[in-house]
Amino acid sequence: MSEETQQTSEVIVTNSQNTQEDRKPHNNNNNRRPNGPNNSNPNASNNKQGGGKSRRRQTLPIDESLKSMVFANQESHKQRLNPHYKLDLNSKDKIRITPLGGLGEIGGNITIFETQTEAILVDVGMSFPDEDMHGVDILIPDFSYVREIKDKIKAIIITHAHEDHIGAMPYLFKEMQFPIYGSPLPLAMIAGKFDEHHIKDFKKYLNPIEKRKVYDIGKDFKIEWMHMTHSIIDSSSLAITTAAGTVIHTGDFKIDYTPVDGYTADLHRLAYYGEKGVLCLLSDSTNSYNTVPTPSELSVAPAMDRVFAKAEGRVLLSTFSSNIHRVYQAIQYGVKYGRKVCVIGRSMERNLEICMQYDYIKLPKNIFIEPEQLADMNDKEVLIVTTGSQGETSSALFRMSIGEHRHVKIKPNDLVVLSSRAIPGNEGSISAMLNHLQRAGAKVTSEKDIHVSGHASIEEQKLMLRLVNPKFFLPIHGEYNHVMKHQETAIMCGIPERNIGIMNDGDTIEVAPKYMRKVKSVRTGKTYIDNQNNHKIDDDIVLDRQKLASDGIVMIIAQIDGQHSKMISKPVVTTFGLVADKQDKFFAKEMEEVLEHFLINIKEGLIENPRALENDLRQVVRKHIYRKMKRYPLIVPHVFIQ
């Protein structure tokens, strides 16, 4: 076999009459044809008239011009696929990248890009609380590091208008202000938030940009916004050029070849930067496990058509208020089947109005009706577009489901269309809302074809990696397992594992043409916000609420004789969430005994310090309750010394 696999310029020529035996391995004697009685003459077959001919090799002449061109093309491929040679490896410049949110979670995106003298923020987003964060409406990033370097920050750069990328802007601006650069729709929505928070004067910091145009931000940054398809209009990827090299930040993206507005992703500019040489790519990891290419937004149209064609009563469609193209398609099909449109929900109304004001979508005014007019309409003539697809208890759809909405009561022939996927953690609230809707008699459809994702699948991630062809890669946006899966995809696309960085919030990654390394960690975390008054909730309040919810509370009021260290009367003991009402008296007696034992063994001089006395009593009661009940309730002692 080794002779048959020599250099490619040699070919094997065999006679057409060769039998199958001739192609079998020569070291198998059982497969040879006999040459005589003793099989002793290996050349006997060659001596026979008309016998089979042996294999012979013919060396073809080599065309040196072809061979040289093969080598030239191989070298061209190496240079095309290897970005290293395009970067200035002698450069001493570097850039530092620090995510303060958006890693290890879905949402809360904010990233700092920092040179020696200047810095920019990319997005300032919010996220949603867990179920155990009682009374908390939204979470915003901890801005401690932003405060630290605020004198270096030249601007805030916005990729798109989703809440997880702009939702924390008003809270940052109440403390610090910087110029804001972004495309018109995100800036219009930020302006609306400033109005809501009564900080209208800060709209002077808004600077709209033109895509495909490079803007100088400070002295160290040159930034170009490149159009990108996503589940919201007017999204962008960023080319951030510094002395160290160009960093591409994809923002949230998918590759939609047939978007509703016809504006496809600007793959040409991504390829342009990839051809020039990209130092580092930061890319969306949210859909890292999806092996099927993300469908186009237009693909929901047939399902929408079916829904409206079959609906016998009102249609109530709920989706993310920012997904304007989904709402736009639903309205188009509603109008096609002779329905008037009623938009309910503050964020839905605001977003739709902004998009119509700025001509992102065009709809005639006469198709819309007010909620007060619904009672006078025939059910088959009504489409209600509303918020609440995630089962939020304050949303319009949830209030409709429990019969508390002022204008809309669910009817038995209503069809509720949920055109969205459940955000992780919201499954329980969505299920509860569906139960309410179905008890009220509504039919609910959430078929798969009525929703498509706005994030890139594996194949689109591969396309991004191949177009940009970065030397270094930092997967962003998503939980840890999403980021790790994106790393696998990058390795498949030829990026060495050593050139891929797995970041956590707070990690500062330094990138230079020769290296990428972690240099430090900064403080990160979440700040809790009560949306009713737009105020911060202190951490200890949230912790107390969690303790109250899980372990209850014990309140002890005692009067003590300071001279004799004895109780003047029985203590008043009140509990909530710890023992049943019928056990209150028994528990109060138990606490009385604990208090008596505590006073017998009290430290000398402690009786003269009521605060220290209460702290020690709290520890004694906590230990006792844990020993007996394996619980750590919130303990509130009040001791009055006489």
- Of all residues in the chain, the percent with pLDDT exceeding 90 is 63
Say what the pLDDT of residue 20 is.
Answer: 38
In this predicted model, what pLDDT tens digit does every residue of 464-476 receive, in sequence order? 999 999 999 999 9
**Inter-residue contact 459 to 256 (CB < 8 Å):** no
| Count of C-beta atoms within a 10 Å radius of residue 91 | 14
Say what the pLDDT of residue 486 is.
Answer: 98
* pLDDT average, residue stretch 137-166: 95
Residue 177 burial class via C-beta count within 10 angstroms: exposed 0-12, middle 13-18, buried 19 and up: middle
The larger pLDDT score, comparing residue 345 to residue 16, is at 345
Is the pTM for the entire model greater than 0.85? no
For the record, the structure tokens of 569 come out as: 């009367």
Nearest residue to 420 via CA among 456, 396, 394, 386: 386
DSSP string, 550-594: HH-EEEEEEEEETTTTEESSPPEEEEESSS-GGGHHHHHHHHHHH
3-state secondary structure string across 495-559: CCHHHECCCCCCEEEEEECCEEEEEEECCCCEEEEECCCCEEECHHHHHHHHHHHHHCEEEEEEE
Say what the pLDDT of residue 54 is.
Answer: 57
For the record, the structure tokens of 416 come out as: 């509720």
DSSP string, 165-211: HHTTHHHHHTT----EEE-HHHHHHHHHHHHHTT-GGGGGGEEE--T
**Inter-residue contact 283 to 461 (CB < 8 Å):** yes
For the record, the structure tokens of 398 come out as: 């949830």
* pLDDT average, residue stretch 154-167: 96
* pLDDT average, residue stretch 607-620: 85
* pLDDT average, residue stretch 225-241: 97
* pLDDT average, residue stretch 157-168: 96
Q: Kindly report which listed range (160-164, 263-267, 442-446) carries the lowest average pLDDT score.
A: 442-446
Say what the pLDDT of residue 550 is.
Answer: 87
DSSP string, 324-351: HHHHHHHHHHHHHTT-EEEEESHHHHHH
CA distance 279 to 93: 12
Segment of 559-563, 591-595, 609-613 carrying the highest mean pLDDT: 591-595
In the predicted structure, residue 520 carries a pLDDT above the cut 70? yes
Q: For residue 55, what pLDDT band results from cuts at 50, 70 and 90?
A: low
CA distance 223 to 239: 6
Say what the pLDDT of residue 602 is.
Answer: 82
Architecture of domain 302-450: 3-Layer(aba) Sandwich (3.40)
* pLDDT average, residue stretch 327-347: 95
**Inter-residue contact 290 to 389 (CB < 8 Å):** no
Say what the pLDDT of residue 53 is.
Answer: 55
Q: Kindly report which listed range (31-40, 120-129, 196-205, 335-344) carries the lowest average pLDDT score.
A: 31-40
**Inter-residue contact 286 to 323 (CB < 8 Å):** no
Q: For residue 106, what pLDDT band results from cuts at 50, 70 and 90?
A: confident
For the record, the structure tokens of 333 come out as: 């099909």
* pLDDT average, residue stretch 494-518: 96
**Inter-residue contact 452 to 420 (CB < 8 Å):** no
In the predicted structure, residue 191 carries a pLDDT above the cut 60? yes
Q: Kindly report which listed range (24-38, 395-409, 482-496) carries the lowest average pLDDT score.
A: 24-38
CA distance 374 to 408: 8
The alpha carbon dihedral of 179, 129, 507, 544 has a sign of: positive
Say what the pLDDT of residue 357 is.
Answer: 94
Say what the pLDDT of residue 85 is.
Answer: 80
Mean pLDDT of the chain: 88
Q: Which residue has the tokens 């064609």?
A: 309
Say what the pLDDT of residue 79 is.
Answer: 83
In one-letter notation, the amino acid at residue 403 is G
For 95-292+454-529, CATH number out of 3.40.50.720, 3.40.50.300, 3.60.15.10, 3.30.420.40 equals: 3.60.15.10
The larger pLDDT score, comparing residue 68 to residue 2, is at 68
Instruction: Give the β-pairing of 443-445 and 415-418.
Output: parallel
In this predicted model, what pLDDT tens digit does every residue of 207-231 receive, in sequence order? 999 999 999 999 999 999 999 999 9
In one-letter notation, the amino acid at residue 62 is I
DSSP string, 1-18: -TGGGS-TTEEEE--TT-
CATH code of 552-641, in short, is 3.10.20.580
3-state secondary structure string across 90-101: CCCCCEEEEEEE
In this predicted model, what pLDDT tens digit does every residue of 367-419 receive, in sequence order? 999 999 999 999 999 999 999 888 888 889 999 999 999 999 999 999 999 99
Say what the pLDDT of residue 175 is.
Answer: 94
Distance of CA 363 to the CA centre of its chain: 31
* pLDDT average, residue stretch 5-13: 37
Helix axes 324-336, 301-310, angle to 10 degrees: 40
In this predicted model, what pLDDT tens digit does every residue of 255-280 receive, in sequence order? 999 999 999 999 999 999 999 999 99
**Inter-residue contact 638 to 621 (CB < 8 Å):** no
CA distance 229 to 225: 13
In this predicted model, what pLDDT tens digit does every residue of 276-315 receive, in sequence order? 999 999 999 999 999 999 999 999 999 999 999 999 999 9
Domains of the chain, residue spans:
3-59, 95-292+454-529, 302-450, 552-641
For the record, the structure tokens of 190 come out as: 């930020």
| Residue-wise burial string across 532-555, b where 16 or more C-beta atoms lie within 10 A, e elsewhere | eeeeebeeeebeebebeeebbbbb
**Inter-residue contact 478 to 424 (CB < 8 Å):** no
The larger pLDDT score, comparing residue 79 to residue 177, is at 177
For residue 226, give the H/E element and its range: strand 221-228
Q: For residue 40, what pLDDT band results from cuts at 50, 70 and 90?
A: very low
